[in-house]
Amino acid sequence: MYRYDEYDQAIVDARVDEFRDQVARRLSGQLTEDQFKPLRLMNGLYLQLHAYMLRVAVPYGTLDSRQMRMLGHIARTYDRGYGHFTTRQNIQFNWIKLDDTPDILAELATTQMHAIQTSGNCIRNISSDQYAGAAADEVADPRPWAELIRQWSTFHPEFSYLPRKFKIAVIAADEDRAAMRLHDIGIQLVRQDGVLGARIFVGGGMGRTPMIASLIRDFVTADDLMSYLEAALRVYNRYGRRDNIYKARIKILLHEIGADEYRRQVEEEFSLVKQLGIDPPAAELARITAFFAPPAFDADAPDTVDRSDPDFAVWLDQNVAAHKQPGYAIVNISLKPIGGIPGDASADQIDLMADLAERYGFDELRVTHAQNIVLPHVRKADLHAIWQALSGAGLAEANLDLISDIIACPGLDYCALANARSIPVAQKIQARFADRGRQRELGELKLKISGCINACGHHHAGHIGILGVDRKGTENYQLLLGGSGAEDVSLGKITGPGFDEDGVVDAIERVTDRYLAERVEGERFLDTYRRVGFAPFKEAIYG
Amino acid sequence: MADPDMTSVAAEPQLRFRDDEPHDEPAVTLDAFLAGQSNATAVRLEAGDDARALIDHLDRIALVEVSFPTFRDGRGYSAASILREAGYHGELRAAGDVLVDQLPLMRRCGFDSFVPEAEIDAATLRRSLDRYDLRYQTAADAAVPVWKRRHG
Amino acid sequence: MKILTGNDLGSGDVIWWTGSTWSRHVEDAADVATDGEAIARAEEGVRRVVGAYVIDAAPTAEGPRPAHIKDRIRALGPTVRPDLTLKPADPNAGSWVI
């Protein structure tokens, strides 16, 4: 994985110094809250329901065991012993003191970590495929491109006060594991005539006006990537709406002027920007790419696994994915134990995962947008030992992509923007479907819960989505069906009137019962829904 | 009564990073400038104005003042970048809700004078401007991007 | 009744205006009547609070109970982590929120 050189380190260290100065000025009264807020947000510091919350960046979801342990250390020393992994592949700490933040950032910087641009109206952390470098279906590792974009976007002087936040995802496989087309810019690496380049999608997003990104450019080579992105962002910075915060995302600009007109403006801008020499030379991408070279796999690693332990076999089938290297596998560590808090991990669990990565996984971990952790490169021969260690720490729930593997935002238990709680709903659904056989019978079923219309819990992209709303002071939950954040991307449709907490769990059960009655061999819930349509499910829910 | 085209009186900027004499002619609006009603050499751009409209006239402009109605409105950063990319060498002034923490970014986009609404603390400004010697991107300033340092 | 709440600037703790100072316990909150906005501005000015706002609350024998669930969760702590609330030993604390 990428390692800082003296330049990267100096930039992150300077940022720590800058934020220390900004915090001191806030505490001494030189800065009002109105002035300080955008500054702290650009460093990932929110004021939430109970305290300050610090969001730490995990660039493209990749980290090593030393960085992971640092997250555990922050949780233990400055927070209340846990952290929350997010749908943006980052981690949040919920109980941070403003006075402590400069020291926290200084500690993070010692392991090449930071909170730069994890909030604010700027280019946010670049997200990517959690199986990058391990999946057989990728045309290349997308992370060198993501790192190139990370550097370009860090403290970009022109794009730090955009109309609204800006999220970029980079993938390199046809299977989309990063919800690429639900980003402001989604990049898919492809090969044309042997040359690696990027397909550029623009204008996706969730929030209150969900949209799927449009293909804006078929192919951009690495030589032109920064110029092209600069042009794409400049058009947005100049013409994105600033009169209404709810219409300020780039998706609204595309919607209003049309993808063709946006494309025309970007091409015109690109023809000018390209003359400026802002693109790094090929040697820079080559330098970065070298950091992502495959680890030293053992070519003789045995390719078989002893499946005699039935519990282990279930976990293997559910949570372990195929690796491109014979003898190796990709382990998904579920942070969705039945009745737990989706995405939360204690400091001890964080340390354990770091230890496992160090001992068995070439020192690498990934955070997924589904709020789980991945060990991307492990020997099949070590899977049983890993599973045993995870089991002892409550980390071996065998439910990847099943109904209990729920994405949930923090909701009204933590978030100042939320209208309803998300976590208790997730817990009740998990309890209802706790039986492992029942979950597996239902198969792949992506359930996603947001506690408000901002959609941090990706409810629009859930096969089943839940949106929490405030109905006259009480929590109410709307149900959506048919969304997907994958390569078969689609937006869920609201079923009708909402429910209370127990009511929405009942409604989901009616939906899954209907699915079981309707499905034909080999169909996932989403396939059945698409084949039979909305009506049978609506009838099942409302009678 | 003031001429309606005279949108600002050329106050001495608080912060100026140029060696030439300050320009003391009042700036006119973009519309007035383009209408050719004056021989003005100073133009004021509102946040929504298209800086590219000035590109054919840059050789007779000595001052472009860009308005920042609120510090959150970042359109002026693009306006400045566009003017510098087009070869404008005159004074480029940021006026309005301009905060000390934004000055380093504005300097990078090519602004070289500032008329902030609120006074800026000199010591804070010095720390702010001196803090980063390394930059990831090329911009309108002279900073050498990190990738160039890495590869020559 | 109207009560005033916000967060402590440095620690971020949820705090309630008692009439003369700030408390972490909503039970201590005083009725600010129509003075809430003025107190909020003054206290923000001296940096004892951030994000202060006035809410409706109902007077009860145990003290003020905020009208909206969001402020009751702020007052107690996350309902899904009773161990981290202000009343970790009280198994029924959560029912006050709902």
Q: Tens of pLDDT along B19-74?
A: 998 887 889 999 999 998 678 999 999 999 999 999 999 999 999 999 999 999 99
Q: Are C66 and C3 in contact (CB under 8 A)?
A: yes
List subunits contacting chain B, requiring 3 or more Cβ pairs under 8 Å. Answer: A
* pLDDT at residue B8 greater than cutoff 50: no
Q: Do A284 and B127 touch (CB under 8 A)?
A: no
Over its C-alpha atoms, chain C yields an Rg (Å, rounded) of 13
Contact A121/B at CB under 8 A: yes
Beta pairing partners, B15: B114
Chains C and B touch (3+ CB pairs under 8 A): no
Minimum-distance CB partner of A152 among B85, B133, B136? B136
Residue B36 lies in a domain: yes
Beta pairing partners, B8: B27
Boundaries of every domain in chain A? 6-109, 134-289, 310-391, 407-542
Residue B131 lies in a domain: yes
Per-residue confidence band for A76, with pLDDT thresholds at 50, 70 and 90: very high
Which run of H or of E encompasses A52? strand A52-56
**CATH assignment of the domain containing B40:** 3.40.50
Which residues of chain C have a CB within 8 Å of the CB of A52? 7, 12
Predicted interface score ipTM higher than 0.90: yes
Which residues of chain B have a CB within 8 Å of the CB of A30? 121, 124
Which residues of chain C have a CB within 8 Å of the CB of A98? 9-12
Minimum-distance CB partner of A51 among C12, C69, C81? C12
List subunits contacting chain A, requiring 3 or more Cβ pairs under 8 Å. Answer: B, C
The CATH number assigned to the domain with range A6-109 reads 3.90.480.20
Q: Are C24 and C14 in contact (CB under 8 A)?
A: yes
pTM for the full predicted model: 0.96
CA neighbours within 13 Å on the CB side: how many for A237?
28
Residue B126 structure tokens: 């010095």
Residue A58 structure tokens: 């995990």
Which residues of chain A have a CB within 8 Å of the CB of C69? 412, 473-475
Which run of H or of E encompasses B95? strand B91-96
Q: Are A493 and A462 in contact (CB under 8 A)?
A: no
- Give the strand pairing for A82-85 and A91-96: antiparallel
Residue B35: which domain range? 6-151
Name the residue with tokens 């980063």. Answer: B132
Q: What is the Cα A447 distance to its own chain's centre?
A: 15
Other CB atoms within a 10 A radius of the CB of residue A522 amount to: 7
Contact A265/B at CB under 8 A: no
Whether the domain at A134-289 and the domain at A407-542 fall into the same CATH topology: yes
Residue-level pLDDT at A417: 96
Fold of A134-289: Sulfite Reductase Hemoprotein; domain 1 (3.30.413)
Mean pLDDT along residues A417-425: 98
Q: Do C10 and A423 touch (CB under 8 A)?
A: no
Residue B66 lies in a domain: yes
Residue C52: which domain range? 2-97
Fold of A407-542: Sulfite Reductase Hemoprotein; domain 1 (3.30.413)
The 10s digit of each residue's pLDDT in C1-60 is: 999 999 999 999 999 999 999 999 999 999 999 999 999 999 999 999 999 999 999 999
Q: Are A423 and C80 in contact (CB under 8 A)?
A: yes
Minimum-distance CB partner of A160 among B74, B121, B135? B74
Q: Are A330 and A320 in contact (CB under 8 A)?
A: yes
Residue-level pLDDT at B5: 41
Q: Domain A310-391 belongs to what architecture?
A: 2-Layer Sandwich (3.30)
Q: How far apart are CA B52 and CA B45, in angstroms?
A: 11
* pLDDT at residue B1 greater than cutoff 50: no
Q: What is the Cα A393 distance to its own chain's centre?
A: 24
Q: Do A7 and B101 touch (CB under 8 A)?
A: no
Q: How far apart are CA A290 and CA A443, in angstroms?
A: 39
Number of domains in chain B: 1
Residue-level pLDDT at A87: 97
Q: Do A51 and C9 touch (CB under 8 A)?
A: no
Name the residue with tokens 């009042």. Answer: B26
Name the residue with tokens 């201590």. Answer: C28
Number of domains in chain C: 1
Q: Do B132 and A160 touch (CB under 8 A)?
A: no
